């Protein structure tokens, strides 16, 4: 079934929450609307549309996938290392990050995740970004295979600051 990708607005929050919550329920992760998931309820306050952008994929008007692109100054350190910056593990050399890639379980295997990933990689490349950082729960094997098709390599791991303290892989995708 055909889908479209567009930049999200605050009015999309209910559909975005539906997608991401479905994945959290599937994996039995803790949902935390006032903490870890607060950005999803106040998109306009968390994603300025310039440095931080949130996108959705839709099928017949229903949001079925999400992704965000965050851009920033390059993370210091030797490219591919994982320094601690302001208390968080980061992928050195990265100047942007892929965030919040989720596809509703009912919409998988239709190319939604790949198209969303292609979309933000192309956007980051068009802006001259050099390396993309990704942190992904170690249980998301399908996502890791997807990232690998774009040249992602695992460079480290960490415990996420989410309510479940999930173990994550740190990946880097060269963009230049």
| Phi-psi domain of 38 (left: phi exceeds 0; alpha: psi -120 through 50; beta: other) | alpha
Domain ranges of the chain: 4-174
pTM of the shown model: 0.94
pLDDT given at position 122: 98
Q: What are the start-end ranges of the H helices in the chain?
A: 13-26, 38-41, 43-46, 112-126, 141-149
The superfamily CATH assigns to domain 4-174 is: Gcn5-related N-acetyltransferase (GNAT) (3.40.630.30)
pLDDT given at position 176: 84
Q: Do residues 64 and 112 make contact, with C-beta atoms less than 8 angstroms apart?
A: yes
Tens of pLDDT, residue by residue, the chain (176 residues): 689 999 999 999 999 999 999 999 999 999 999 999 999 999 999 998 878 999 999 999 999 999 999 999 999 999 889 999 999 999 999 999 999 999 999 999 999 999 999 999 999 999 999 999 999 999 999 999 999 999 999 999 999 989 999 999 999 999 98
């Amino acid at each position: 079934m055909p889908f479209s990708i567009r930049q999200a607005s605050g009015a999309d929050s209910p559909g975005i929450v539906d997608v991401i919550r479905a994945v959290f329920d599937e994996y039995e992760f803790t949902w935390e609307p006032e903490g870890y998931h607060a950005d999803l309820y106040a998109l306009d306050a968390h994603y300025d549309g310039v440095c931080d952008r949130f996108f959705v994929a839709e099928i017949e008007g229903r949001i079925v996938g999400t992704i965000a692109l965050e851009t920033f100054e390059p993370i210091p350190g030797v490219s591919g290392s994982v320094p601690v910056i302001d208390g968080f593990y980061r992928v050195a050399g990265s100047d942007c990050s892929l965030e919040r890639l989720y596809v509703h379980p009912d919409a998988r295997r239709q190319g939604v995740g790949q198209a969303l990933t292609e979309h933000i990689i192309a956007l980051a490349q068009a802006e001259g970004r050099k390396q993309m950082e990704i942190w992904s729960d170690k249980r998301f094997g399908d996502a890791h295979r997807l990232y690998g098709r774009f040249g992602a390599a695992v460079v480290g791991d960490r415990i996420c600051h989410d309510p479940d303290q999930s173990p994550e892989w740190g990946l880097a995708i060269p963009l230049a």
